[in-house]
Chain A
Amino acid sequence: MASLSAALRVRVHAPWSATAWRDTVFVASGVPLQLAGWLILGSLWSFWTPVRVTPIVLLTFASVLLLLLALRPLTSWQRERCWAMLGFDIPRMPGFDGGRAWDVLRDLRSPELWRVLQYHLLVAPFLALGGLAVIGAWTAGLALATSATYAWAVHPGDPLAGHPQRVAVLTAAGVLLLVAAPWAAAGVRRLDARAASALLGPDRAKELQRRVEDLAEKRASVVDAADIERRRIERDLHDGAQQRLVSLALNLGLARETLTGVPDEAMRVIVEAHEEAKAALTELRDLIRGLHPAVLEDRGLDAALSGVAARVPLPVRLRVDIEPRASSTVEAVAYFVVSEALTNVVKHARANEVDVSVARGGDVLRVMVRDDGAGGADPSAGTGLTGLARRVRSVDGTFRITSPAGGPTTVTVELPCAL
């Protein structure tokens, strides 16, 4: 395999191969651009070389300004060159690319500017040297490899004629150069691409950071959207189905109270329907309440949680201290945590008493639900705990549960208030 790939590489880099020519053209085309930085910096001095301090300072300043103004076009040409010749895309730098040439003055403090300068002034000259070397290798190689023909055909009186040994050595050297040139071109090309992507492309660390911020923002908006959706569903159910059901139950109740002379059979049906409607109402109310209680928005967590706690058929000690109020999404999560945890306690814990505390310390909302029940709650068992933990994670919160067999069970949730 190794020998095969080596053979392949030799073929790819053969002097007549497409890769060799592409690399050579790429490297050669880079030379003027890579020298441009210093050329621009020195251009004014070639017209006029002052000897007094003030003009020197002025000229220096003007040169630097000229270079700075040229940075954007130079960079974008480099980018175009990489894309056109190698199909290699250097991503644009947000906040630097795309501006006009004179925006550079505003960017003096941006790290992007200094990285670009680094490319054009420090790295580019070496790349240009490499490019020139490649061009030199090709030219010298061609000249030397054909020296015998030249000597024989063009200059019958050439000093080489009649020195076959010299000719052979020179030809061999030429052939070697021709073979080496594509490799050199490939090397310079690789260096150039690497330098360009490192210095002309966006900073990776910064890019990652930006991406993280971007994702965090997107996730926050998704969480908010889900919250808004829950509220919309709550309102739709409240204004629609619930009102109809109340009205239906009211009419059935009225029928039950006022109809006289109805056959027993029919009355039984009415009574059943009435009871069913009332049961449906209770279920619907609990469902809607779980979505997003109106009182939460209106009066905050304290009021909403005392409502939840009152419906639990156990003594609940509730302490809420959350000034200033957190965002509505965080409040909704805290509400959900407490109401789910209490539901779990009622369903599974066989507890006598529950302690609930919600307290804000700085930027963290701490929610704790402790019961004196049987313990042994296992979040991996797929109870409501999994959903709870997921909901907490959706706002970057932490979820902990300690529940040794025999109890007590403590659920602790910390929610960052500033997303």
Chain B
Amino acid sequence: MRIVIAEDSVLLRAGLIKLLETSGFEVAAAVGEAEGLLAAVREHRPDAAIVDVRMPPGFTDEGVRAALVMRRETPGTAVLLLSQYVEERYAADLLSTSTSGIGYLLKDRVADVSVFLDALRRVASGGTALDPEVVSQLLLRRHRDPLDRLTPREKEVLGLMAEGRSNAGIAAALVVSESAVAKHINGIFAKLDLPHAEGDHRRVLAVLRFLGGDG
């Protein structure tokens, strides 16, 4: 799998390259700013790009903006955003274009190597990986609406779904059976008035679209 990295910290960039190469990814290019990222993506057509949100020259949300441009130019390229803080507004920006092949994680998660690689693979294969912090912020934004009708357990399941986990992943995280998870999910769909959809991927899409809401 071919990856492009955009990260302005030289140290972390080197660390990421080492991590990815050790784990069998191919790093097509590693750049230090947003403009370079767009050029590298146009040139190398990678499967996924790992993008730091805060990059030169402005050190605010260059990464998010570059990712949006990238999604428009090369919709097939998955994006995994890394940020020191996850802000649901940035996530909403991204999710508003499409929810497939999108990831948004706290930078710290890189340290949990297997979790990080798992998220990267999920994103590269068209899935979603949202940081639990983003999910909780998204849930908060929707505090007033039908989410209130969910039981605490259903909210937990919804949160894990929104992070991009499969039924099996949710079952493992909550230490329950997969059928129990499926039951909760059906309950959520019923309460949220979501049309019946098939397969993990479309299900997550629906939930995310709901969470991203008007964004």
Give A contacts to B, CB under 8 Å. Answer: 235, 238-239, 242-244, 246-247, 249-254, 256-258, 274, 277-278, 281-282, 285, 288-289, 293-295, 297-299, 303-304, 306-307, 309-311, 315-318
Contacts and interface: CB of A to CB of B under 8 A. Distances in A.
Given A285-B108, A317-B143, A310 B84 contact: no
Given A243-B12, A250-B19, A256 B113 contact: yes
B61 interface: yes
Interface in B45-78: 54, 59-61
Contact of A251 (B15, B54, B139): B15
B110 A249 contact: yes
Contact of A252 (B90, B111, B144): B111
B88 A310 contact: yes
A295 B111 contact: no
Contacts of A243: 9, 11-12
B87 interface: yes
Given A238-B84, A250-B111, A288-B84, 5 more contacts: A250-B113, A294-B61, A297-B60, A298-B61, A306-B141
Given A281-B108, A285-B108, A306-B137, A238 B12 contact: no
B190 interface: no
Contacts of A318: 140, 143
A285 B84 contact: yes
11 contacts: A247-B9, A253-B112, A256-B113, A277-B111, A289-B85, A293-B85, A299-B87, A299-B89, A304-B87, A316-B143, A318-B140
Interface of B: 9, 11-12, 14-16, 18-19, 22, 54, 59-61, 84-90, 106-108, 110-114, 133, 136-137, 139-141, 143-144
A141 to B, nearest CB: 85
A241 to B, nearest CB: 11
A258 B89 contact: no
Given A242-B84, A295-B85, A295-B87, A250 B137 contact: no
Listed residue (A246, A256, A274) with the most chain B CB atoms within 10 angstroms of its CB: A246
B133 A311 contact: yes
Contacts, number: 111
Given A235-B59, A282-B108, A250 B16 contact: yes
Contacts of B87: 295, 299, 303-304, 307
A257 B108 CA distance: 16
Contacts of A309: 137, 140
A247 B108 CA distance: 9
A247 B140 contact: no
Contacts of B137: 306-307, 309-310
Contacts of B12: 243, 246-247, 250
Contacts of A293: 85
Contacts of A311: 133, 136
A278 B111 contact: yes
Contacts of B61: 294, 298-299
A310 B59 contact: no
Nearest to B64: A298
A251 B11 CA distance: 11
A235 to B, nearest CB: 7
Contacts of A310: 88, 133, 136-137, 139-140
B22 A278 contact: no
- In the A-B complex, list the 9 residue pairs whose CB atoms are closest, starting with the nearest: A249-B111, A310-B137, A243-B9, A253-B113, A303-B89, A247-B11, A250-B15, A247-B15, A295-B87
A81 to B, nearest CB: 62
Contacts of B139: 310
Contact of B108 (A258, A278, A306): A278
